[in-house]
């Protein structure tokens, strides 16, 4: 809401208040004559506050000048508002008509002077206008600042998510090309097949991953292609167990969220040895929850950070914190040479 609209709304608010007070006086025209200047001074105080004092001093934390000028404005306009002569003086007229005598000049002056209680009441109304305006402006200013902070945070989060995605894509491509390079010296036919898998994976990464969320089936297809691509490196059958249950077409997930755990399992399981190694992957999806589990043998001699920056699981943790705040439970455990990961996503919280 801009400044002019706020000013107009406050004018209308006090206009309604004065209409209510006027109705209590049986719509006597004398009420308007006595109080019109008070209403005008109210409008003046509100305009000075809204257009000058509050934005120039209060919002810039210049409190002392703001207080001093406010006191001066209230004093000045309170004095102006009390200068309207009292119009109805029924006591004076009644004394002249009934008694047929003229009151002494000092008594006439005393009766026609505005009572102290009324002066106090008008000053109180002006102070109420001042206080209400200040409170409203502070509340709206605080609300605007809060909205700006939220917007800024959202923009920062979106920027960070884009950065995390940009880290994932080169990482995936780097690993996949290494696999194909290793395969090219072994079997040309399987090299062509691996390029097909890689093409499907790149299509997913380049196009579908631009969306905030993708169908869970697409993410599963990507994982399956990744495993097939890896398996083509050798003619041996790797001890990999995959169980995907209840792949509901209506369930969506943030793209490339699960693959870092799969990559980590293949990297540290020493699966090429075949003997005494394994990788187990399971995924269970329902409309309101996704449960992803992965277990693999763990070789401490292979534990080292990626040469391109140590991304992967830490990257995924950060994405989870941004995309699924208070909606996920991630358990990572390493015991007796077995590395276990369990991720539970609550989709409707």
Give the phi and the psi of residue 263 in degrees, each rounded to 5. Answer: -60, -40
Res. 27 pLDDT band, cuts 50 70 90 = confident
pTM: 0.54
The 10s digit of each residue's pLDDT in 129-179 is 888 888 888 888 888 887 777 766 666 666 665 655 555 556 667 767 877
Specify the CATH class of 186-346 in words. Answer: alpha beta
Nearest alpha-carbon partner for 320 in 263, 267, 261: 261
Domain definitions of the chain by residue range:
3-149, 186-346
Please tell me the distance from the alpha carbon of residue 165 to that of residue 257, in angstroms, as a whole number.
10
| Residue 280: pLDDT over 90 | yes
Per-residue pLDDT averaged across 210-229, rounded?
A: 88
Name the least confident of 46-50, 100-104, 320-324, 332-336.
100-104
Q: Tell me what percent of the residues of the chain surpass a pLDDT of 90.
A: 13
pLDDT of residue 224: 92
For residue 342, the cross-strand partners are 293, 331
Question: Read out DSSP for 40-54?
Answer: HHHHHHHHHIIIIII
Nearest alpha-carbon partner for 321 in 313, 333, 311: 313
Q: Tell me what percent of the residues of the chain surpass a pLDDT of 70.
A: 79
The 10s digit of each residue's pLDDT in 294-324 is 999 987 665 544 433 345 778 788 888 888 8
Please tell me the distance from the alpha carbon of residue 148 to that of residue 144, in angstroms, as a whole number.
6
């Amino acid at each position: 809401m801009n400044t002019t609209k706020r000013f107009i709304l406050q004018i209308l608010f006090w206009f309604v208040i004065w209409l209510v007070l006027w109705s209590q006086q049986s719509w006597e025209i004398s009420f308007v004559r006595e109080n019109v200047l008070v209403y005008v001074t109210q409008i003046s105080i509100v305009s000075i506050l809204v257009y000058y004092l509050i934005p120039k001093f209060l919002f810039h934390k210049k409190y002392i000048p703001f207080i001093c000028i406010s006191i001066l404005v209230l004093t000045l306009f309170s004095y102006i508002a009390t200068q309207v002569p009292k119009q109805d003086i029924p006591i004076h007229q009644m004394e002249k008509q009934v008694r047929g005598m003229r009151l002494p000049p000092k008594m006439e002056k005393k009766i026609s002077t505005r009572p102290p209680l009324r002066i106090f009441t008008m000053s109180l109304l002006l102070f109420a206008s001042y206080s209400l305006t200040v409170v409203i402006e502070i509340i709206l200013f605080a609300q605007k600042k809060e909205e700006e902070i939220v917007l800024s945070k959202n923009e920062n989060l979106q920027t960070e998510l884009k950065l995390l995605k940009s880290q994932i894509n080169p990482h995936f491509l780097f690993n996949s090309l290494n696999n194909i390079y290793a395969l090219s010296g072994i079997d040309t036919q399987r090299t062509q097949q691996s390029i097909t898998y890689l093409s499907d994976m790149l299509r997913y990464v380049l196009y579908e991953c631009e969306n905030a969320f993708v169908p869970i089936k697409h993410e599963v297809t990507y994982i399956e292609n990744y495993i097939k691509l890896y398996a083509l490196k050798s003619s041996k059958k790797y001890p990999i167990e995959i169980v995907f249950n209840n792949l509901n077409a209506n369930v969506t997930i943030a793209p490339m969220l699960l693959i870092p755990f799969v990559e980590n399992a293949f990297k540290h399981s020493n699966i090429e040895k075949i003997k005494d190694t394994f990788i187990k992957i399971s995924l269970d999806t329902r409309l309101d929850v996704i449960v992803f589990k992965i277990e693999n043998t763990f070789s401490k001699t292979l534990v080292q950070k990626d040469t391109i920056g140590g991304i992967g699981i830490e990257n995924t943790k950060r994405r989870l914190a941004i995309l699924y705040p208070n909606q996920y439970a991630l358990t990572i455990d390493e015991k007796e040479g077995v590395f276990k990961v369990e991720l539970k996503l609550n989709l409707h919280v």
